[in-house]
Structure 1
Amino acid sequence: MTKIAIIGAGSAVFAQQMITDVLAIDGLNAGEFTLIDIDPGRLAMAHELAELTVARSGKPFTVMSSTDRLTALPGTDFVINTIEVSGLGNVRHDYDIPMKYGVDQCIGDTTGPGGVMKFLRTAPAWLEILRDIGRLAPAAVVMNYTNPMSALVLLSARGSNLKVYGLCHSVQNTLAELAGYLELPADELTYRCAGVNHLSWFTELGWHGQDVMPRLRQAMEQPEIYEQDIVRFEMLRHFGAFPTESSGHFSEYVPYFRKRPELVAHFTRPAYKGESGFYAHNWPRWRGEHAVQVRSLIDREKAGEAAINMTRSPEFASNIIEGVVLNRPQHITCNLPNIGLIDNLPQDGVVEVGCAVDSSGIHPQPHGRLPEALAALDRSHMAVHSLLADSVLHRDRELAVQALMLDPLTAAVCSLDEIRAMFAELVEAERADLPDYLREPVGAWGSQ
């Protein structure tokens, strides 16, 4: 029987989607979902929603839940990690403090000062989870969705012996958006895409043997299309490739669009299209609405309404399970160590490439070289990830400071002294949720 553990399952809507996706696999007719979360109230709602989802599918899956992963993990075949560590209490700090220094973030959870701090809060818990999986379910396939996803996968590669695969929906969502701009069916497009999570690149795009990149460039000259994706179309204009993260979030990854207020006003638009502080201003409210949404979904389903969406999503976790368990070949995009995959990116880092999946596992497909300008943009983020991982593993605060100094957006705005001061202020504000080595003072030239 296939056992699937979801860690961080208190995020009940996402956990329910993962369950729906697995239940939609034709031929996988039984198994167990184990839901794990440290919040018993949110976990109870997630469990109830999961049982209703299974009941609607008609498949004889069982649902278990626990706040103690030590009792829940043994026998697990697949682990899906979706944890959030102290985000609600720190999302304002992650935005407000950098903003004082002129660093203007839209999302700020995978890159920039917000991404650095989220990694430092999350890494200790992630390492503990990996150690427990290593002891209790060492053969499990581990899939990580938690951001900063690429940096956490790198930490797992350097800090454990487990094979951990980072998953995201940015490539498949971007493909659907490109199909819309081109007015072509997404399933008829061919492409080459690789890089680093949220900074991968569609370098080739075809349709029935035709190169449709020129058609995409023509489409972006239409104001109604250009306005939907300003930042990414600017990258296509200047770098010749289309990046995989939404314009608003992507604008944080490079130094060109957010370093002055007039640039933010010119290149960004409301909400996910780049609005300043969009995540910090809205996520606490969304988090509060989550319980209401889940409770309503449960009550409506119990009342006889078909309220639960049973449509399989584009997320790749279920494709991995389908390929491994049923030996049904799958093609996905995955984040994993760069062992001969992208030639001109660091071989000790983590990259995002196409992978084949079957019963023998996940098989990354070598991509070759990226265009050098794109590789240079990716390398800057891989350096940040490397410093952050080593900071945690070696308990070296100075490496974390240097990671922030190398962040492209932060470096575009601040001096080195300003970055050091910003880091100290962030650590002081979030000290209760950070590992203790970060609380130590730092001298001008290193740890004291």
Structure 2
Amino acid sequence: MSFKIAIIGAGSVGFTKKLFTDILCVPEFKDIEFALTDVSEHNLAMIKAILDRIVEANKLPTKVTATTNRREALEGARYIISCVRVGGLEAYADDIRIPLKYGIDQCVGDTICAGGILYGQRNIPVILDFCKDIREVAAAGAKFLNYANPMAMNTWAAIEYGKVDTVGLCHGVQHGAEQIAQVLGAKSPKELDYVCSGINHQTWFIELKLNGRPIGKDELISAFEAHPVYSKQEKLRIDVLKRFGVYSTESNGHLSEYLPWYRKRPDEIARWIDMSDWIHGETGGYLRYSTETRNWFETEYPQFLEAASKPIDSAKRSNEHASHILEALETNRVYRGHFNVKNNGVITNLPQDAIIESPGFVDRFGINMAAGITLPEACAATCMASINVQRMSVHAAIAGDIDLLKLAVLHDPLVGAVSTPEEVWQMVDEMVVAQAQWLPQYAHAVPAAKERLSKSKVKTREWAGAARRSVRSIEELRAEKAALKQAG
């Protein structure tokens, strides 16, 4: 087979390498072309050198090109994969820092909450530019695979306003299933059969079977509480399981910021989170991790390049959806996964226009969703709160409507539990002014926002958060890795 895959945001070096090697694990895909594009020439050069080394080491005919000209990369592409972060770590730092001034403590801030909503405002105009290029220069019927957060908002904009065949992809369901299989004592995650449905980062394991045997709520609670690691790392998730009756896909830290109950009081946050790793609830944890990862990669790049000389091992193909979807579409080998698509009746008790994440099957006819799923009422209610925020956020981003943006932030569950309307109005003004360079649709609103800020009497505070850690130096990271290697 010979076709072209374009990867936008290919400077996300580690993830691009994973996608690349996964796809080349499909025997029929050796002759394809990968067109890499990014706004950073530096990152592009690094990832192209790594992928060229993989191609050379494995004696493959695969073609790899790299360009900062996005339209050139998209020209003739059958598949387009996006893993962009508009504004990079600079804008992301404001997504965490500014809400903290108003008492809003986020672990990740990339899905909803104040940070996730502003992240969507930065991404959506760029996503629509991608879609315009796809319509104009990509292959007829090209499919857009979006890995970028905020997943639901980006996918919603691409489908509804970009008018491109789009599917959103995430690995939360796979990771949750691996946890459940582990606590139940399964030898392999493949022993676990499940139905998981909801919206991205709020997906729910509504049916579980281990080797054909149904697993109920009480057995699952007992298994998690007895686990020596997860009982400490997933305290909030286990509490939600007890109250809702089903387990959520999302990590302890992520889930904590989508709900209005666990992060609203600083003195309560420590009760529900675990500081053994960022993902369990640390304030600004993913920002710290992302910063350390970038610094580590820049410093240790020669080692990454050397590792690229190893043969591709198809046994180590990851469970990221992209390669499996492409394989199913191109070879008709059926793949079952969980996909972010417009609801259109798939989940009976969520809105038709919402972007849901639910089971589907892929073959040469496309992605076929399993319809007629009904969520438990509490799960649907929690999803609805987020969907309403997502819808307003998308509409605000499209229209450049700062008043609607403020209403979206006001209706966010955690923001609403922490902040007053006056604080929300000022916080949004402050975030829009700080991120103006990435928010072209709000250029007309920035002068008035600056004027309001100059006259505001709403009090703020400089607060690091309830559970903040400093970014570690390269030397500290090296020492930690050496200690872990010695202990293991």
* Residue 302 of structure 2 is aligned to residue 295 of structure 1: yes
292, 298, 317: which one aligns with 1:285? 292
Amino acid aligned to 2:37: I
* 1:216 and 2:216 are equivalent in the alignment: no
CA distance in 2, matches of 1:293, 1:341: 46
Q: CA deviation at 1:130?
A: 0.9
Q: CA deviation at 1:418?
A: 1.2
Q: Structure 1 residues 147, 437: CA separation in 2 closer, same or farther (over 3 Å shift)?
A: farther
CA–CA distance in 2 between the matches of 1:129 and 1:280? Answer: 26
Q: Deviations over 1:222-257 (max 9, x none)?
A: 262411311111110000011111111111110111
Q: Is the 8 A contact 1:300 1:307 kept in 2?
A: no
d(CA) in 1 for partners of 2:191, 2:116? 35
Which residue of 2 is the match for residue 71 of structure 1? 72
Q: Residues 398-430 of structure 1: CA distance to partner in whole angstroms, max 9, x if unpaired? A: 111111011111011111111111111111222
Contact 1:179-1:186 at 8 Å conserved across structures: yes
1:169 is aligned with what amino acid? H
Confirm or deny: 8 A CA contact 1:34 1:65 kept in the other structure. yes
Instruction: Pick from 206, 229, 232 the counterpart of residue 227 of structure 1.
Output: 232
2:49 paired with 1:48: yes
Summarize the alignment of residues 35-434 of structure 1 with structure 2, pairs less than 5 Å apart. 35-137=36-138, 138-184=140-186, 185-213=188-216, 214-222=218-226, 224=228, 225-270=230-275, 271-301=278-308, 306=310, 311-434=316-439
> 1:392, 1:21 → 2: CA distance?
34
TM-score under structure 2 length normalisation: 0.87
Q: How much identity, in percent, do the aligned residues show?
A: 34
Contact 2:51 2:308 in 1 (8 A): no
The structure 1 segments of at least 4 consecutive aligned residues displaced by more than 4 Å after TM superposition are 307-310
Which whole-Å CA distance do the structure 1 matches of 2:243 and 2:431 have between them?
35
Deviation at 1:186, TM superposition (A): 1.1
Q: Following the alignment from structure 1 to structure 2, what is the Cα–Cα distance between the partners of residues 309 and 15?
A: 17
SS in 2 for 1:369: coil
Preserved contact between residue 248 and residue 268 of structure 1 (Cα < 8 Å):
yes
* Alignment check: 8 A CA contact 2:124 2:398 kept: no
- The more displaced of 200-209 and 160-169 is 200-209
Kindly provide the amino acid, as one letter, of the partner of residue 221 in structure 2: R
Q: Secondary structure at the match of 2:28?
A: coil
Question: What TM-score, normalized by structure 1, do the two folds share?
Answer: 0.94
SS at match of 2:163: coil
Task: Extract unaligned runs of 5+ from structure 2.
Answer: 453-488
- Evaluate the alpha carbon distance shift between residue 350 and residue 66 of structure 1 in structure 2; reply closer, same or farther with a 3 A threshold: same
CA contact (8 A) 1:229 1:273 kept: yes
Pair 1:27–1:307, CA change in 2 (3 A): closer
What SS class does the counterpart of residue 406 from structure 2 fall into?
Answer: helix
One-letter identity of the residue aligned with 1:248: G
Query: How far is 1:437 from its partner?
Result: 4.2
CA distance 1:8–1:438, shift in 2 (3 Å): farther
Count, aligned residues = 441
* Pairwise CA RMSD: 1.8
- 1:85 to partner: Cα distance: 1.0
Cα distance in structure 1, aligned partners of 2:444 and 2:342: 27
Deviation at 1:309, TM superposition (A): 7.2
Shift of 1:433: 2.1
Instruction: Supply the distance in 2 between the matched residues of 1:175 and 1:57 (Cα, whole angstroms).
Output: 33
Contact 2:112 2:390 in 1 (8 A): no
Kindly tell me: are residues 250 and 437 of structure 1, through their superposed partners in 2, closer, same or farther at Cα, counting changes over 3 Å? farther
Equivalent pair of 1:191/1:202 in contact (CA under 8 Å): yes
Relative distance call for 1:236 and 1:300 in structure 2 (3 A) is closer
Farther-moved stretch of structure 1 (414-423 vs 20-29): 20-29
Residues in 1 aligned to 2:60 and 2:311: alpha-carbon distance in whole angstroms = 18
